[in-house]
A and B are shown apart, each in its own frame.
Chain A
Amino acid sequence: MTNPRDELAAAPDVISSEGREDFSAFAASRWPGLVRLAFGLTGDRWLAEDIAQTALARAYVAWRRVSQADDPDAYLRRILVNASHRRFRRRRVTEQPGDPPETPVDGPAELVGDRSAVLAALSQLPPRQRAVIVLRYWADLTDAQIAATLGCSPGTVRSQASRALARLRESPALMEGDDR
């Protein structure tokens, strides 16, 4: 019987060495943005890196197609958001909340408080609403682009955004606006 590990090691690269070089440069340049987007979707630094890895691994498998796409970033975003949704589904079953503490961030205490409030408020949203907020306000996507990413209509994006914003308004730290 073949050892799966041997099989894994023996699996050939799916793209040429030149393509691999291009992919590496592409992946390196997209990595920070993907991790940050995934962090916005999950609130967990290490989970975010895991999901970003998944997105890039899938892009690597389809690299010939992705590299010729009009917008490779749209492809990556779609995979990443889907992966984060699957994670949410799995988390509900297998993971316990509360472990481990969030990655601390640099900066004055006020800023750190801001960021914690953002993460706390986002964590209260259902995954799809959270994705709409992060894609709209962090990734600066249009409703049509968000709809393409989530596989829904722009109307659904708007209704999800409206519900999410209504919930976020209940978080004073997020919506104090001019008071700060």
Chain B
Amino acid sequence: MTATEDRELRRVLHDTLRSVPPSPAPLEAIIRRSKRIRLRRAGAAAGAVALAGIIAVTSLALRGSPQPYVPPAAPAITAGPDGVFASGTADGHRWRLAVQNIADPGYSCLPAIIINGTDADPVNPDPGTGATVALGSALPGVGFGFVQVPADVNEIVVNGDAAVPAVTVAACGSRYHVAGFAYPLSKPLRVTVANPPPGWPPVFTMPLVSTQRPSTHTTPESPGLWINTISAQGETDSVALAWGTLPDGQAWFIKLQFGPGGDCYQLDGSSSLGNNQMGYCGPVSTPGGPETITALPLGFPNPGTGATGYALQVSPGTDQLAATLSNGSTEPATFCVVAGRKYAAFIVPNPLRLAKLTWFDARGQAIASTTALPRYGYVQFQP
């Protein structure tokens, strides 16, 4: 093999595999699966346990099993001026999904799908994408899903029997065709398309959201988990939010990619030992919603090596953000405005931990603070 061939193969492989966008690590699902492995090893009857979650959804999609009869599609429905395309009651709580502008005042219109007014996901310009989300303690046991479908699809079917109409919504000068629903988190999710147009799969692969059962052990997934299929194509703003060098000599930078995948952060580190990378996508905050604090651990967590990057979107009124570390020192956060939204980022070198975050306004007054901070993934905080 020539050196040119070698370089070329390396380049195309790196291009191809790096194009797989980072998704949140499904830690609860991993741990649940480990229990199954352990039970199988112990000779228990776990072999009979049906595989849930992504496995079930994926295998159903891959097998392309026959679908139940789906009645002819109903006439197209158009949402009202508030952009609400789905609503209902789950466990006695009202919920609603809408397409609305989430840009801060004075910035370009930014359409997004909003759940209950607090969490958002930028709308993809093209059909074929969807997301599942759980709001955790705000609505325990309930997940929400939405799919953006082609204009000639009038409904989808959830778990074989619930027909959900696709609704046309106008926002920011464009029209979107979306179907949304609520579902019990305790069951696998299966979304089929009624009468799919040519070229479209009859089954949408929806990632399964699972939230922790109530316990004393708190992980960042507790407030809710957003899993975007991230199959979206469209315009993405990519900006380096913060950068520097760690005490161990490792150069780092934190990058934001804001677009159809949501708020996706990436921490890159490089040293003489090689390059390392960690990425995470989280829910986008609405102007009145909670702030999503994302942690990006990089490297094996041995004391003294590696670091955890932090990134979050802050309200326009935030002038400074102080990160207090476990040794009492303060780490400054760098601000950056991207697509009319204000972001902050900083890094905490191991073995130090982030102990507290404090928000300050332009007069230097503390306006909020929290010690409920993630070591990986994200938590949401309402200042």
CB proximity of A174 to chain B, nearest CB, Å: 6
Contact A40 B17 (CB under 8 A): yes
Residues of B within 8 A of A106 (CB): 19, 21, 233-234, 236
CB proximity of A107 to chain B, nearest CB, Å: 7
Interface residues of B in 1-59 (CB under 8 A from A): 1-2, 4-10, 12-27, 29-39, 41, 44-46, 48-49, 54-55, 57-58
A17 to B58, CA, bound (A): 31
Interface residues of A in 82-105 (CB under 8 A from B): 94-96, 98-101, 103-105
CB proximity of A55 to chain B, nearest CB, Å: 9
Contact A27 B27 (CB under 8 A): yes
CB proximity of B43 to chain A, nearest CB, Å: 12
Residue A131 CB within 8 A of the other chain: no
A29 to B280, CA, bound (A): 10
Closest Cβ neighbor of A14 among chain B residues: B38
Closest Cβ neighbor of A46 among chain B residues: B58
CB proximity of B128 to chain A, nearest CB, Å: 8
Contact B35 A50 (CB under 8 A): no
Residues of B within 8 A of A57 (CB): 30-31, 33-34, 36-37
Contact B376 A178 (CB under 8 A): no
Residue B278 CB within 8 A of the other chain: yes
Residue B150 CB within 8 A of the other chain: no
Interface centre among B18, B25, B128, B300, by most chain A C-beta atoms within 10 angstroms, is B25
A31 to B377, CA, bound (A): 11
Contact A11 B39 (CB under 8 A): yes
Residues of B within 8 A of A48 (CB): 20
Closest Cβ neighbor of B26 among chain A residues: A53
- Do A60 and B61 form a contact, CB below 8 Å, given A8-B36, A29-B376, A32-B278? no
Residues of A within 8 A of B7 (CB): 177
Residues of B within 8 A of A39 (CB): 17, 20
A31 to B308, CA, bound (A): 15
Contact B14 A138 (CB under 8 A): yes
Residues of A within 8 A of B31 (CB): 13, 20, 57, 60
A34 to B375, CA, bound (A): 20
A9 to B2, CA, bound (A): 55
Pick the residue among A22, A47, A94 that contacts B301 (CB under 8 A): A22
Interface size of A by CB at 8 A reads: 73
CB proximity of A80 to chain B, nearest CB, Å: 13
CB proximity of B149 to chain A, nearest CB, Å: 14
- A-side binding surface: helix, strand, loop or mixed? helix
Interface size of B by CB at 8 A reads: 82
- Do A100 and B219 form a contact, CB below 8 Å, given A28-B27, A49-B23, A105-B19? no
A13 to B303, CA, bound (A): 24
A114 to B230, CA, bound (A): 20
Closest Cβ neighbor of B298 among chain A residues: A29
Residues of B within 8 A of A17 (CB): 217
CB proximity of B150 to chain A, nearest CB, Å: 13
Contact B20 A103 (CB under 8 A): yes
Contact A4 B49 (CB under 8 A): yes
Residues of A within 8 A of B34 (CB): 14, 57-58, 60-61
Contact B39 A7 (CB under 8 A): yes
A57 to B46, CA, bound (A): 15
CB proximity of A172 to chain B, nearest CB, Å: 11
Pick the residue among A8, A28, A117 that contacts B35 (CB under 8 A): A8
A110 to B377, CA, bound (A): 33
CB proximity of B281 to chain A, nearest CB, Å: 10
Contact A99 B61 (CB under 8 A): yes
CB proximity of A173 to chain B, nearest CB, Å: 8
A133 to B35, CA, bound (A): 33
Residues of A within 8 A of B299 (CB): 29
What would 29 A/B residue contacts be, using CB atoms closer than 8 Å?
A: A4-B48, A7-B39, A7-B44, A8-B32, A8-B49, A17-B217, A26-B300, A29-B278, A29-B299, A29-B300, A36-B17, A46-B61, A53-B26, A53-B29, A56-B25, A56-B30, A57-B33, A58-B37, A61-B41, A96-B63, A103-B229, A104-B231, A105-B19, A105-B233, A106-B234, A133-B13, A134-B13, A175-B5, A177-B4
Please provide the 9 A-B residue pairs with the shortest distance between their CB atoms, ordered closest to farther.
A31-B25, A28-B376, A100-B201, A57-B33, A60-B34, A105-B19, A57-B34, A46-B58, A32-B22
Apart from A8-B46, A45-B231, A100-B61, list 9 A-B contacts with CB within 8 A: A4-B49, A11-B39, A24-B219, A25-B308, A29-B301, A31-B25, A39-B20, A106-B19, A174-B8
